[in-house]
Amino acid sequence: MRILFVGDVVGQLGLTLVQKYMPALKHQLKPQVTIINGENIADGKGITERLYKALLLAGADVVTLGNHAFRKRETVDFIGGTSKLIRPANFPPQVPGAGYTMINVNGVKLAVVNLQGRVFLDNIDDPFQKIDILLTKIKTETDLCFVDFHGEATSEKLAFAHYVDGRVAAVIGTHTHVQTNDARILAKGTAYLSDVGMVGSYNGILGVKPEPVLHSFLTNLPSRFEPIESGPGQLGACYIDLDATSGKAKKIQLIRIDPDHPLMEM
């Protein structure tokens, strides 16, 4: 089974890039499952029902989120009615929405889990305790599990991956918006990547206009960050090949598309 995973989609430009590149990516890579992190699609922070549906239409089978999951007020209301939009599973119990979902791939089930780190991030439930609870449930249905671990610190992401090594097929990081060059398969068979990167403007700072970010660093004054919505784009993604019998990863491969790295045959 091949999973295509696409990093944090930033703004309308991010969506446009997904729509632009997805046909070629699907044509070339032929993934059975496509997962996209959508936490930044609505003006750079959060998601709306319209944009969630636009991601499905663009080719996503599951949309994951992160610390900006509920920045748009409507998300609290509509997330409970969705089946393929998940938010970090270790958000507190009162938070609406699900933290994982099941995908049917030609009769085989894949669990897709979203978790969020705590180092340099919000005070939420423990992702290490949470994954044990989730896997107990998930293992009654399937041995195939993909984790989008939304986090800042490389130490936490790697520690988590070691913790679940051999128990899930892949732990792929999101949140920093910068793709890392450490894709590998760990000792017991879990594919790992610290961060898959983002989809959005290739200029600017992590997809947003550089001037307000620089203003903020130089003055510490309040600044309003806005995504860049035109000009050259970048797309950060990866694909993972799983052994559907063992639930282990066989291969992980980075995908980086930008003006310096145009899409080519892979």
| Residue 67 interacting with Fe ion (CB under 5 A) | yes
The yes-or-no answer on residue 68 being catalytic is yes
User: What distance lies between CA 255 and its chain's CA centroid?
Assistant: 14
Pick one of 57, 120, 188, 231: the residue that binds a second copy (CB under 8 A): 120
Candidates 32-40, 77-85, 148-156, 241-249: pick the segment binding a second copy (CB under 8 A). Answer: 148-156
| Residue 156 interacting with a second copy (CB under 8 A) | yes
Residues 6+ apart with CB under 8 A from 24: 263
Q: SS3 string of 115-171? A: EECCCCCCCCCCHHHHHHHHHHHHCCCCCCEEEEEECCCHHHHHHHHHHHECCECEE
| Residue 8 interacting with Fe ion (CB under 5 A) | yes
Q: Say if residues 178 and 223 touch (Cβ distance below 8 Å).
A: no
Task: Map residues 86-105 to x or -, x wherever contact with a second copy holds by CB under 8 A.
Answer: -----xxxxx----------
Which entry of Fe ion, a second copy, none binds 109, CB below 5 to 8 A by partner kind?
none
Q: Which helix (H) or strand (E) holds 255?
A: strand 249-257
Residue number closest to Fe ion, CB atom: 8
| Residue 116 interacting with Fe ion (CB under 5 A) | no
Query: What are the b/e assignments for 110-143, b being 16+ CB within 10 Å?
Result: bbbbbbbbbeebeebbebeebbeebbeebeeebb
Catalytic residue among 27, 68, 150, 175: 68
Pairing, β 249-257 against β 233-242: antiparallel
> Nearest-CA neighbor of 39 among 101, 104, 88, 94?
88
Of residues 8-67, those binding a second copy (CB under 8 A)? none
> Nearest-CA neighbor of 247 among 132, 130, 133, 147?
147
Q: Which is nearer to Fe ion, 143 or 148 (CB)?
A: 148
Cβ of residue 190: shortest distance to a second copy, in angstroms? Answer: 13
| Residue 77 interacting with a second copy (CB under 8 A) | no
Pick one of 163, 229, 243, 263: the residue that binds a second copy (CB under 8 A): 163
Name the residues annotated as catalytic.
68
Interface contacts to a second copy, rule CB under 8 A: 70-71, 76, 91-95, 118-120, 122-126, 128-129, 152-156, 158-160, 162-163, 176-182, 184, 187, 194-195, 197, 203, 205-206, 210, 213-214, 217-222, 254, 256, 260
